[in-house]
Each structure stands twice: as C-alpha cells, then as structure tokens.
C-alpha cells in the first residue's frame, strides 16, 4: 500500500478498522483488507484509536476485531461510520449472552 497509513485492519476477518490518527467526516481512507486496498469514506469524525465500519453492520450484527466478536451493534452501522459505545454493546460488560 502506498501513501500515508491512516487506519489498520488487524485480522482479515475484521469488519472494522482502527484509526491511527484523528479522521474527519468526508475523508477517504485507504485500508488493506484481505490483501486488497479499499477506500472508505469516513461519515463522522473519528478519534485516534477508535474504530470505523468497513462494511454495513445490521442491528444485532457482530462487530469483529482481532478476528473475534468484540460486541454486537445496537443500531444499523453504515460503512465509514464511527463504531464505539454509542452503537455497540460490548461482550466484556456482560450485555450479550
């Protein structure tokens, strides 16, 4: 991948990427996903270290990071949207059985 790396996908199964710096709504970010570089339009400001969706995630769908489910969406999450506690219930908090 050429150019500045702005986000990272940790595992090929992941449906989220992690911002390596702050991202602004309207930015286009290139990330390597499953061996291919894909461009994603960022829909809302995303702080450094936070996640954004690489694909649409339906309400109740699993959020995958590290190749593992880390939570479940509480609303429909659109590709490029910030993924955080406002739209995900975390497994670690015992909210998902």
pTM for this entry: 0.87
Residue spans per domain, the chain:
7-93
The dihedrals phi and psi of 51, each to the nearest 5 degrees, come to -105, 155
Tell me the backbone φ, ψ of residue 41, rounded to 5 degrees: -85, 125
pLDDT for residue 97: 34
Predicted confidence (pLDDT) per residue in 27-48, tens digit: 999 998 888 888 999 999 999 9
3-state SS assignment for residue 93: helix
Burial 4-37 (b: 16+ CB within 10 A, else e): eebbebeeeebbbbbbeeebeeebebbbebeeee
Q: What is the CATH number of domain 7-93?
A: 2.30.130.110
């Amino acid at each position: 991948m050429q150019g500045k790396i702005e986000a990272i996908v940790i595992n090929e199964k992941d449906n989220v990427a992690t911002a390596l710096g702050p991202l602004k709504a309207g930015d286009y970010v290139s990330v390597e996903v499953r061996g291919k570089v894909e461009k994603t339009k960022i829909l809302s400001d995303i702080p450094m270290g936070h996640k954004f969706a690489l694909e649409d995630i339906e309400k109740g769908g699993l959020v995958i990071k590290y190749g593992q489910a880390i939570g479940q969406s509480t609303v429909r999450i659109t590709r490029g949207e910030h993924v955080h506690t406002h739209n995900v219930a975390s497994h670690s908090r015992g909210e998902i059985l």
